[in-house]
Amino acid sequence: MPVHIGWMVQSQENRPVQGVLWMLASGLSFVGVNGLVRGLGTDLPAAQSAFLRFAFGVLFLLPTVAPMLRRGFPPGALTLFGLRGLVHTAAVICWFHAMARLPVAEVTAIGYLNPILVTLGAALFFGEVLAMRRILAVVVAILGAGIVLRPGLREVTDGHFAQMAAAFFFAASYLFAKRLSGLVPASTIVAMMSICVTLGLLPFALWVWVPVSLTQLAALALVAAFATSGHYCMTRAFGVAPMTVTQPVTFLQLIWATLLGWLVFGEGVDIFVLLGGGVIIAAISYITLREAHLLRRTVTPVVNATKS
């Protein structure tokens, strides 16, 4: 699944070992998601696979739905939920299409573009300052994506285009989530995303529906369970350790994805994919480190102020 936004969350605690362990568990969970979807291949249409995965996710979240509906929603929230559901629906269809056709490592590496695209989107739509360090990080990340794709040196397939589109749509979804975070609790954002995306995927799934085996249903239920586990572990990591500790750990997800593709699916180890993914992660980590440093400077009192 997509790489999630590290520098948008600031931990109030500092337990780095726990943070790293939670992030490792999160990465392994998302690699499990990738492996299961890759194993399903193209036997099920992307829209149908995505619908069943999110439908299982809604079942997991059912206990939270009634209290959420009783609380109600602030003005404008339902419109934002609907718009986020549309772009996230497009994102997951593109992602499932790419995951069934590309090596696991390539999907993972291209997915690292999500935080970079969110940075650009936040500057364009929320008026956030695009400082030189962010501009440089964006340029470096684009170079990393070029190393992964290598257009002109090899064929760029519909799977590559689908994953690039997924990165843009997921970034848009995160921007809607950021706007919603000031209106409703995080649990409501997660639950409403699952409901809206399931409803959004339903007509596409019905359009291309093919018979589903019990094995395929079980695999998609596991996809939903692993995705839920990945989000939970990532949230715990963000809560106990600074992003400067947990963000670089996400690069291990690319290593595990490469091993999974090689050992389970017989995919070759592409050094350019590893290199390009490493370049993108380096850009993300640089932003994380710089912004954490600037945050410490803004909250640390001057010497004389501590003596009053």
Per residue in 245-279, pLDDT tens? Answer: 676 777 788 888 888 888 888 888 889 888 998 88
Residue 21: predicted pLDDT: 87
What is the DSSP secondary-structure string of 186-205? HHHHHHHHHHHHHHHHHHHH
Closest CA to 147 of 279, 276, 281, 282: 276
Structure confidence at residue 292 as a pLDDT band (50, 70, 90): low
Residues 304 and 23 sit within 8 Å (Cβ to Cβ): no
Residues 93 and 204 sit within 8 Å (Cβ to Cβ): yes
Structural domain contains residue 6: no
Structural domain contains residue 308: no
Phi and psi at 151, nearest 5°, equal -60, 140
Closest CA to 226 of 37, 48, 68, 89: 37
Q: Would the pLDDT of 299 be above 50?
A: no
Residue 9: predicted pLDDT: 46
Q: H-helix or E-strand containing 306?
A: none
Structure confidence at residue 287 as a pLDDT band (50, 70, 90): confident
Structural domain contains residue 95: yes
* Rounded distance between C-alpha atoms, residue 240 and residue 247, angstroms: 13
Q: Would the pLDDT of 304 be above 60?
A: no
Residue 280: predicted pLDDT: 85
Q: Would the pLDDT of 159 be above 50?
A: yes
Structural domain contains residue 76: yes
- Count the domains in the chain: 1
Structural domain contains residue 3: no
- Full-model pTM: 0.81
Residue 294: predicted pLDDT: 62
What is the DSSP secondary-structure string of 203-256? HHHHHT-----HHHHHHHHHHHHHHHHHHHHHHHHHHHS-HHHHGGGGHHHHHH
Structure confidence at residue 204 as a pLDDT band (50, 70, 90): very high
- Give 52: exposed, middle or buried? Use CB within 10 Å, 0-12, 13-18, 19+: buried
Structural domain contains residue 163: yes
Residue scoring higher pLDDT (287 or 223): 223
Structural domain contains residue 159: yes
Q: Would the pLDDT of 298 be above 70?
A: no
Structure confidence at residue 89 as a pLDDT band (50, 70, 90): very high
Structural domain contains residue 307: no
Average pLDDT of span 159-175: 91
Which domain does 34 fall in, by range? 16-301
Closest CA to 175 of 108, 119, 130: 119
